[in-house]
Structure 1
């Protein structure tokens, strides 16, 4: 005997099967708000600053360069925040690792690749320590990494002054191995007569890799799991400690990469380099659709969040607007992004029911 399950109207269809409008499914993706925002910002500055260079290839290269500097950090921080944690130490990590590279090579004559290796090891060690302390003590990562921020910056300033007598160190272009390092980290790519910094390529490659990890690997599922419900993730066998410590190490490594790019580009370092980047990065990630509470977000969203920053920062310059308004824009954008993300999250849950 066969049994046919019918819906309330006797249609012969299983009432448990619900069709979801493809457009609605698209709108609830975490990055859609940032994508729409990027388009709106581009159109706005194309209108108000199009005749001032914003639409030229050189103008595009300028705001993409600014976006890439923030975006390299934002991609790694997005994964960490999806995993339910914060890292406020990345700003001071940029200053510390860039100074390690510069002092070892410019002051002590090390090959620049050896200096970069030391900086990478230092960054990974600090990332591991941050993750270990968060898990071991049970303290919020916000507090642990805030402490790390001040410790790292203070030690960087103290050691740099002790070794060099100043807080800015140059001469990196005279170090052994500089030319090959410059080709990898700081060489421009010329398109239509405009120079696009290679850091843009680094940014996009990292974003693509992070997206693949999140959406196509077990580790990506673990990240969403520990961010959504850490106890439930632990109960089904997710290695919570390994996942979170790895994420902290990846944010530190991203900061080290940006430090190497900037040190080699500017042939020197400043102990305060990277200051406030930790907060700008979190804002970019939130604008990109990642929830502050974890468990929801995307790497692609952080790309568009950083792109919005780059376009606004340089668009204001092209439009001739007082740069002081940039700070006001950051605050407004953060509040709007949090409200929008909260609404989209609730909408997404309703669609899935």
Structure 2
């Protein structure tokens, strides 16, 4: 028709950009790392005490604060995984003593081989962890309440059984038990570097942190941990086995408690029934300093290990500086508050960057 105008069809809308394909700068990726605050904190504490006292940097000094950090770091890494999964375990500290006591009682009072005693105590620890996880998932109660009950039960069991078996609140004499030499080499030996003796627990700490980080960042189970911690309901809807994941996380914490208890009993050859009380809060604090959020779904195994390192450097640095040890609690409170603020700020910045 003369004079008519044809209208071109509208151009198809450009597909929305996938945020997963968006390019981010190295700085943005660095800010998104949960352990960044812990790394900065560790560097600050290291430089502060290195300038304050020469003993801090000596091989003997380094061996001291690394030793202080090692067993705490093993537990902090396991607790970090559990916290990323959205749960807490207040029985972890007392369970380290329970494992040490059980190993000692079987080896000393019943004359068992140390290796067999260790296997039985491992089975006991894993059973406690599985029970904690099952109760949390079965009842729907907060893990804080369930594991507080386990804490009290284990504390009473430690005191009651130890006193019943030995007439006191400690067990000693593991060094004379069969199998001690080989077990002690694996869990309590030392190696020399620069004229200072370092405990084998340092190696266990590094290995534990490396394995936990690999599992968390490179495996399907690691994805499940983040998913159940972020939202258990959403994770269940996409096929994540929420119950199995959380039970395994509680068993992982219990397994770490067994490892620390084994290291302690084979190193010191004496176990006290009241050991471990209060340490569970140090594990949680180290994990928070390392980048874990109290709400779950966010954190880092390496960050938790660095959080434990900050603990060890500060605690022993205060001793080297000949300050009153009471200052450590002030430091601990300041570090905890600072870590929470820094972690929240870094996470908010990372989320804004991804938008």
> What is the TM-score normalised by the length of structure 1?
0.94
Q: Residue 266 of structure 1 aligns with which residue?
A: 268
Q: Residue 37 of structure 1 aligns with which residue?
A: 41
Give the number of equivalent residue pairs.
343
Q: Deviations over 1:269-299 (max 9, x none)?
A: 0111112110000000000001100000010
Q: Deviations over 1:244-289 (max 9, x none)?
A: 0000001011001000000000011011111211000000000000
- Cα RMSD after superposing both structures: 1.6
> What is the TM-score normalised by the length of structure 2?
0.94
Q: Residue 118 of structure 1 aligns with which residue?
A: 120
Q: Residue 339 of structure 2 aligns with which residue?
A: 337
Q: Residue 77 of structure 2 aligns with which residue?
A: 75
Q: Is this contact kept in 1: 2:158–2:274, CA < 8 A?
A: no
Structure 1: which 5+ residue stretches go unaligned? 7-13
Rounded Cα–Cα distance in structure 2 between residues aligned with 1:274 and 1:228: 30
Q: Residue 291 of structure 1 aligns with which residue?
A: 293
Rounded Cα–Cα distance in structure 1 between residues aligned with 2:117 and 2:157: 18
Structure 2: which 5+ residue stretches go unaligned? 1-8
Alignment of 1:1-353 (within 5 A): 18-50=22-54, 53-353=55-355
Rounded Cα–Cα distance in structure 2 between residues aligned with 1:327 and 1:158: 31
Q: Residue 9 of structure 1 aligns with which residue?
A: none
Q: Residue 6 of structure 2 aligns with which residue?
A: none
Q: Residue 11 of structure 1 aligns with which residue?
A: none
SS in 1 for 2:56: coil
Rounded Cα–Cα distance in structure 2 between residues aligned with 1:218 and 1:67: 30
Q: Deviations over 1:96-116 (max 9, x none)?
A: 110001111112211000110
19-28 vs 282-291, which moves further:
19-28
Q: Which has the larger radius of gyration?
A: 2
Residue 347 of structure 1, CA deviation? 1.1
Rounded Cα–Cα distance in structure 1 between residues aligned with 2:23 and 2:126: 46
